[in-house]
Amino acid sequence: MHQMKKFTSVSDVKNLQEIIKKALQIKENPHSETQKGKGKTIGLVFLNSSLRTRLSSQIAAQNLGLNVLTLNAAQEAWNLEFADGAIMNGDTVEHIKDAIEVLNQYCDIIAVRCFARMKSKEDDVNESILSQFEQHAKVPVVSLESATRHPLQSLADSMTITENWREDRKPKVVLTWAPHIKPISQAVGNSFTEWMQEMEVDFVIANPEGYDLDKKFTKDIKVIHNQDEALKDADFIYVKNWSSFDEYAAMPEVKENWMLTGEKLKTTNNGKVMHCLPVRRNVELSDEVMDGENSIIYQQAKNRIFSAQAVFSEILNEIN
Ligand code: CP
Ligand 1 centroid, distance to 188 Cα (angstroms):
10
pLDDT score recorded for residue 274: 99
* Residue 284 confidence (pLDDT) above 90: yes
Query: Is residue 222 a known part of a binding site?
Result: no
* Residue 1 confidence (pLDDT) above 90: no
Q: Determine the residue type at 98.
A: D
Query: Is residue 130 a known part of a binding site?
Result: no
pLDDT score recorded for residue 40: 98
Quick check: CB of 52 below 6 Å from ligand 1? Answer: yes
Using DSSP's 3-state secondary structure scheme, residue 236 falls into strand
* Residue 71 confidence (pLDDT) above 90: yes
* Residue 320 confidence (pLDDT) above 90: no
Quick check: CB of 50 below 6 Å from ligand 1? Answer: yes
User: Angle formed by the axes of helices 297-319 and 16-28, to 10°?
Assistant: 110
When pLDDT is averaged across residues 170-187 and rounded to a whole number, the result is: 98
pLDDT score recorded for residue 306: 98
Query: Is residue 258 a known part of a binding site?
Result: no
Query: Is residue 24 a known part of a binding site?
Result: no
Query: Is residue 78 a known part of a binding site?
Result: yes
Query: Is residue 278 a known part of a binding site?
Result: no
For 75-124, how does the pLDDT look when each residue is reduced to its tens digit (9 = 90+)?
A: 899 999 999 999 999 999 999 999 999 999 999 999 999 999 999 999 99
pLDDT score recorded for residue 74: 87
* Dist CA 5 CA 139 (whole Å): 9
- Percentage of residues in the chain with pLDDT exceeding 90? 98
Q: For ligand 1, atom 6, which residue shows the shortest CA distance?
A: 50
pLDDT score recorded for residue 188: 98
Ligand 1 centroid, distance to 304 Cα (angstroms):
9
Query: Is residue 275 a known part of a binding site?
Result: no
Neighbours of 138 (CB within 10 A): 12
pLDDT score recorded for residue 3: 77
- Ligand 1 atom with the shortest distance to the CA of 276: 1
- Ligand 1 atom with the shortest distance to the CA of 152: 3
Ligand 1 centroid, distance to 272 Cα (angstroms):
20
Quick check: CB of 277 below 6 Å from ligand 1? Answer: yes
Ligand 1 centroid, distance to 168 Cα (angstroms):
32
Ligand 1 centroid, distance to 277 Cα (angstroms):
6
The model scores a pTM over 0.90: yes
When pLDDT is averaged across residues 146-168 and rounded to a whole number, the result is: 98
* Dist CA 260 CA 285 (whole Å): 5
Ligand 1 centroid, distance to 53 Cα (angstroms):
5
Query: For the chain, how many residues are written?
Result: 320
Q: Which of 47, 49, 51 to mutate to test the pocket of ligand 1 (most atoms within 8 A of CB)?
A: 51
For 237-279, how does the pLDDT look when each residue is reduced to its tens digit (9 = 90+)?
A: 999 999 999 999 999 999 999 999 999 999 999 999 999 999 9
**Among 223, 149, 215, 156, which residue's Cα sits nearest to residue 188?**
149
Quick check: CB of 51 below 6 Å from ligand 1? Answer: yes
* Residue 42 confidence (pLDDT) above 90: yes
* Dist CA 255 CA 58 (whole Å): 42
pLDDT-derived band at 19, boundaries 50, 70, 90: very high
Using DSSP's 3-state secondary structure scheme, residue 81 falls into strand
